Amino acid sequence: MPKMRNRPKWFDTVRKGDVLQMPSGKYRVVRLVVGHKPYNRTGHYNIFISFAILHCSLTGSCYTTYDGTQLKHWNHTGDRVRLNSELDKEITHDLEYENRFPKDQLLKCRDVKYAL
């Protein structure tokens, strides 16, 4: 098994609603966290975090997902926001596994432009 790489401590405690800061300085609100295992056999961080999308992509989806290798230079601000607006509930709906296909989703990327 490869050596354990340095990984941010916040990977173990991050939750929905937490505010993370990108290396560019932009702030993002965590919408979904999957997996907290420290390490997997391939040598990648075994964590995936989803956010409301910033720019429309080819998929048209309202969210984007990053893995641990993409997130290791991000910072946890220590802030948390409540995600209880109608838009937040619709984003949560679209993030559910059974709604992963475009025909089952309520929102498109243009609908969440200001939902960061």
Q: Which residue has the tokens 């075994």?
A: 46
What type of residue is 12? Answer: D
Q: Distance between CA atoms of 62 and 95, rounded to whole angstroms?
A: 9
Buried b (16+ CB within 10 A) or exposed e, 12-32: eebebebbbebeeeeebbbbe
Range with the lowest mean pLDDT among 18-22, 28-32, 36-40, 75-79? 36-40
CA distances 84 to 11, 17, 50, 104, Å, are 24, 10, 17, 21
Domain boundaries, the chain: 9-82
- Tokens encoding 35: 């997996």
Would you place residue 104 in the very low, low, confident or very high pLDDT band (cuts 50, 70, 90)?
A: confident
C-alpha distances in Å from residue 74, one per residue of 49, 59, 102, 112: 12, 25, 29, 22
Check residue 37 and give its pLDDT.
Answer: 56
pLDDT > 50? residue 4: no
